[in-house]
Amino acid sequence: MASARYGLAVMVLALALGLAGEARAGGGSFGNDEDSGDQDGGPAFFGFVKDKDGDAVDDAKITVTVKNLNSSMILRSDSQGHYFVRGFDKSVDPADVDVACSKEGFREARHVRKPPIDPGSPVEVDCFLDKQ
């Protein structure tokens, strides 16, 4: 029950950050800013970068790659370890989007991609880093 409430709280946070646009740290987009209000776009991606103890890792490098387009972008996690990428064009299959995280002094232990609640809803990918 607590994990369901946590998941809902994270989803609400992600949606709120998505509506706020790119002014926040940890956000990024492949598309034009003019397209940011496009309701026909694909799902947004968001997540947290954490260490093995579950503590946030700030200023981690997040690399988001669309495999079939051979395109990628790099953004940084904010002070709470959060990142957010606005939705891609609806022609991009979310399964073709890969997220990887890194930070100097750490190595990526794993990342967890959670299934979206509904088709088109934001996709959560959390990264876990171990100190080297």
The predicted-structure confidence for 3-33, as pLDDT tens digits, reads as follows: 443 343 333 333 333 333 333 345 555 444 4
What is the dotted CATH code of the domain comprising 2-131?
2.60.40.1120
- Domain limits, the chain: 2-131
Rounded distance between C-alpha atoms, residue 14 and residue 123, angstroms? 10
Tell me the mean pLDDT in the region 112-118.
89
* Per-residue pLDDT at 115: 86
Q: What's the CA gap between 18 and 41, in Å, rounded?
A: 13
Please give the share of the chain, as a percent, with pLDDT higher than 90.
49
31 with 86: CB under 8 angstroms? Answer: yes
pLDDT, position 106: 96
pLDDT at 66 over 70: yes
- Give tens-digit pLDDT for 34-57: 444 445 678 899 999 999 899 999
Task: Give the residues across from 119 on adjacent strands.
Answer: none
Pairing mode, if any, of strands 61-66 and 45-51?
Answer: unpaired
Give me the pLDDT at residue 70, please.
83
Nearest C-alpha neighbor of 26 from the set 65, 62, 67, 70: 62
Asked if pLDDT for residue 59 goes beyond 70, the answer is yes
